[in-house]
Amino acid sequence: MIPELGHYALVLALALGIVQALVPLVGSLRGDAALMRLAGSTALMQFVFVALSFVALTACYVTSDFSVANVFENSHSMMPLIYKFTSVWGNHEGSMLLWVLILAAFGAAVAAFGGNLPATLKANVLAVQSWIACSFYLFILLTSNPFLRLAPAPFEGKDLNPILQDIGLAVHPPLLYLGYVGFSISFSFAIAALIEGRIDAAWARWVRPWTLAAWMFLTVGIAMGSYWAYYELGWGGYWFWDPVENASLMPWIAGTALLHSAVVMEKRNALKIWTVLLAILAFSLSLIGTFLVRSGVLTSVHTFASDPSRGVFILMILIFFIGGGLALFAWRAPMLKQGGLFAPVSREGALVFNNLFLTTACLTVFVGTLYPLALEAITGEKISVGAPFFNLTFGPLFIPLLFAMPFGPLLAWKRGDVLGVAQRLMAAFAIGLVAIAVTFVAMGVTSVLAPFGIGLAFYVMAGSLVDLVEHTGVFRLPLATVRARTFGLPRSVWGTALAHFGMAVTLLGIVTASTWGEERIVALKQGQSTSLSGYDMSFDGMTQRAGPNFRETVAKFTARSGGVAVGLMEPSKRSFGARQSTTSEAALLTRGFSQLYMSLGDVNEDGSVAVRLYFKPLVLLIWLGSLVMALGGLLSLSDRRLRVGAPKPAKKASKPSSTLQPAE
């Protein structure tokens, strides 16, 4: 009964979704308050039904109801309980259900907490949101239905893919989806604004929290995914420029630009067209990410062509929303009223610079990800675009961006003074230069570029602190004033500084781990040892262990630094009976922010074991930096104050109006 209840709940959600997609739209066109009000109640009820459906599927997994085909394909009665939960979204059908659950949750949240929205805007936003929801309900019901049944029911399932039997799966996809789907709200707001033909600072104020929340989740989601790949795949890498990863990076970049652009719009009523375009792009890229991962087009263009029902369906969704969104944008955007004016050198100008570089960087990732697919589809030739391409395109775009990062928050609104800001950043420049010099002295001239990367990271960190110093007046104002200013400082200012600081921390981790990391592959017999980066690893022997649904071969190592034992490392290989497959579990030993990484290779006939050893200096900073970034977002999100950008008044003597430009 439970699986059928879930199935019917999903169908009802679709039915309600169709009502919600049409009626409020008519209401807003005709100014009919009752029809517009309908959007709220249907959005809430839609969420109730999708949640019911998700709970039903979860119940099927937890109770190992193998009469549900999806459970049979992806579960096993012997799996630990936590993986019975996570395998709900560890497969295509279930993950799409999670996708719509989050979509419906965001819709319901707008309905519940959007009391301060004008009625027409709320109705239109929820209607657009429901268009998206309906297309995905249909996609699930028609091509990826998790509630299809098996009769007679098998007695045992096929088990979850062992690589996915990890705590990482419990965290990574829901966070990523919260991010992806969160941008749907920004998209709906943008489309609603285009339909109404009106967009202003108030609009940006309403969109801000949603965008910020989505961005935060996506940041943490990508970081977790990267860490998961790092310790589970056993290659010691944290980012592979793999299409699946790029698919999540692109919405993040667009979302970051959107975030900054929306701030300008809320505070200064400028950059309207940028904001609307970025809102459309961020969600479009989320959809493309979903398409790339879900349609099978990545495994091979040919598998996609041989079973196209899913892929073609998602492709149609893509064309409808991206094409429709952009077409509406092209048609309506020119009618939007011009916003505030500003000089090229100003906070607004800096954010336009930021938008330009971010969108260009996003474009390079887009090209690098999709070009090989297009080429394979057209000529059949298979090429892979990897790190070298992205290092040469994406890297150089980010360097000026990072360099300009501390300038932005210090520039005044409307008209700024670069020299003045540069003066205030002197301390940051100095810290950066010292960092470069120290690195050269300590590490030698092994890598010419890396010390500059370190210098850049320290400069950005110092720069974000300078911003705080300027705001609080430390070092130049009396203590009492400083204290008052520190406590009176909006949390959004702290948020900005923290997020920028986190970006620099991540950069520091990337530069050190990729430049000074060491790697060694050796075959060791019991009792032998090897050394890497000042650590000695001695091989103490192999043991067998049994897990709940796997057996593992564990190699035991003792790591010593300067003769003192600092830890045990136990890399292992697990073999899963039900799927007849093995996974390799890496062993990690954390030393400060650095890590020793060990993964097990084959066991040779003479009893020796092949091991891969890595030393990754400061590698943890990569993910800590992302967490700091997200924390910055959280601080800013928690700041319920309104944002007003006070413009710097023109000096009476000069003729500023001649240098001011329209926002778009």
Q: Does residue 201 belong to the site contacting another protein (CB under 8 A)?
A: yes
Q: Which is nearer to another protein, 474 or 484 (CB)?
A: 484
Q: Which is nearer to another protein, 123 or 624 (CB)?
A: 123
410 C-beta neighbours (distance < 10 Å), count? 21
What is the token pair recorded at 179? Answer: 């991010």
Q: How far is the CB of 422 from another protein (least distance, A)?
A: 21
Cα separation of 380 and 370, whole Å? 14
Q: Does residue 641 belong to the site contacting another protein (CB under 8 A)?
A: yes
659 C-beta neighbours (distance < 10 Å), count? 15
Cα separation of 150 and 69, whole Å? 6
Instruction: Give the β-pairing of 609-616 and 529-532.
Output: unpaired
Q: CB within 8 A of 58, min separation 6: which ones? A: 85, 88
Q: Which is nearer to another protein, 64 or 86 (CB)?
A: 64
Q: Does residue 452 belong to the site contacting another protein (CB under 8 A)?
A: no
Q: Which one of the spans 7-15, 420-428, 506-514, 628-636 is the region binding another protein (CB under 8 A)?
A: 7-15
Which of 40, 94, 221, 416 is the binder for another protein (CB under 8 A)? 40
Which of 323, 577, 607, 662 is the binder for another protein (CB under 8 A)? 577
Which of 4, 518, 519, 602 is the binder for another protein (CB under 8 A)? 4
Cα separation of 153 and 159, whole Å? 15
Q: Does residue 91 belong to the site contacting another protein (CB under 8 A)?
A: no
Q: How far is the CB of 497 from another protein (least distance, A)?
A: 15
Cα separation of 235 and 517, whole Å? 13
Q: How far is the CB of 623 from another protein (least distance, A)?
A: 34
Q: Does residue 203 belong to the site contacting another protein (CB under 8 A)?
A: yes
Phi, psi of 155 (to 5 degrees): -90, -15
Could you tell me how many residues make up the chain?
A: 664
What is the token pair recorded at 662? Answer: 């329209």
Whether 576 contacts 546, CB under 8 Å: no
Q: Which is nearer to another protein, 63 or 391 (CB)?
A: 63
Q: How far is the CB of 65 from another protein (least distance, A)?
A: 5
Q: Which of residues 476-495 bind another protein (CB under 8 A)?
A: 481, 484-485, 488-490
Which of 382, 545, 646, 662 is the binder for another protein (CB under 8 A)? 646
Q: Does residue 1 belong to the site contacting another protein (CB under 8 A)?
A: yes
Cα separation of 149 and 500, whole Å? 50
Q: Which of residues 304-363 bind another protein (CB under 8 A)?
A: 306, 340
For residue 192, the Cα-to-chain-centroid distance in whole angstroms is 25
Q: Which is nearer to another protein, 237 or 408 (CB)?
A: 408
Q: Which is nearer to another protein, 573 or 643 (CB)?
A: 643
360 C-beta neighbours (distance < 10 Å), count? 14
548 burial (CB, 10 Å; 0-12 / 13-18 / 19+) is exposed
Whether 538 contacts 528, CB under 8 Å: yes
Q: How far is the CB of 153 from another protein (least distance, A)?
A: 5
Q: Does residue 55 belong to the site contacting another protein (CB under 8 A)?
A: no
Phi, psi of 604 (to 5 degrees): -80, 170
Q: Does residue 378 belong to the site contacting another protein (CB under 8 A)?
A: no
Phi, psi of 361 (to 5 degrees): -60, -40
Listing DSSP states for 579-606 in one string gives TTEEEEE-EEEEETTEEEEEEEEEEPTT
Q: Which is nearer to another protein, 91 or 286 (CB)?
A: 91
Q: Does residue 7 belong to the site contacting another protein (CB under 8 A)?
A: yes
Q: Which of residues 272-311 bind another protein (CB under 8 A)?
A: 306
Q: Which one of the spans 46-54, 218-226, 368-376, 564-572 is the region binding another protein (CB under 8 A)?
A: 46-54
Q: How far is the CB of 649 from another protein (least distance, A)?
A: 5
Which of 143, 200, 418, 556 is the binder for another protein (CB under 8 A)? 200
Size of the site for another protein (CB under 8 A): 81
Whether 70 contacts 153, CB under 8 Å: no
Q: Which one of the spans 2-10, 250-258, 357-365, 614-622 is the region binding another protein (CB under 8 A)?
A: 2-10
Which of 29, 163, 198, 344 is the binder for another protein (CB under 8 A)? 198
Burial 230-256 (b: 16+ CB within 10 A, else e): bbbbbebbbbebebebbbbbbbbbbbb
- At position 111, the amino acid (one-letter code) is A
Q: Which one of the spans 324-332, 536-544, 627-635, 638-646 is the region binding another protein (CB under 8 A)?
A: 638-646
Q: How far is the CB of 122 from another protein (least distance, A)?
A: 6
3-state secondary structure of 42: helix
Phi, psi of 145 (to 5 degrees): -80, 120
3-state secondary structure of 456: helix
Q: Does residue 663 belong to the site contacting another protein (CB under 8 A)?
A: no
Q: Which of 557, 552, 542, 547 is nearest to 598 (CA)?
A: 557
Q: How far is the CB of 483 from another protein (least distance, A)?
A: 12
Q: How far is the CB of 538 from another protein (least distance, A)?
A: 31
Q: How far is the CB of 398 from another protein (least distance, A)?
A: 32
Which of 60, 100, 257, 589 is the binder for another protein (CB under 8 A)? 60
Q: Does residue 582 belong to the site contacting another protein (CB under 8 A)?
A: no
Q: Which one of the spans 40-48, 251-259, 271-279, 616-624 is the region binding another protein (CB under 8 A)?
A: 40-48
What is the token pair recorded at 376? Answer: 């394979």
Q: Which is nearer to another protein, 571 or 645 (CB)?
A: 645
How far apart, in Å, are the Cα atoms of 522 and each of 272, 544, 554, 588?
A: 58, 22, 17, 17
How far apart, in Å, are the Cα atoms of 402 and each of 226, 309, 509, 661?
A: 22, 43, 15, 25
3-state secondary structure of 316: helix
Strand partners, 236: none
Q: Which of residues 112-171 bind another protein (CB under 8 A)?
A: 115-119, 122, 141, 145, 147-149, 151-155
Q: Does residue 63 belong to the site contacting another protein (CB under 8 A)?
A: yes
Q: Which one of the spans 198-206, 437-445, 584-592, 616-624 is the region binding another protein (CB under 8 A)?
A: 198-206
Cα separation of 20 and 130, whole Å? 6
Q: Which is nearer to another protein, 23 or 462 (CB)?
A: 23
Q: Does residue 383 belong to the site contacting another protein (CB under 8 A)?
A: no
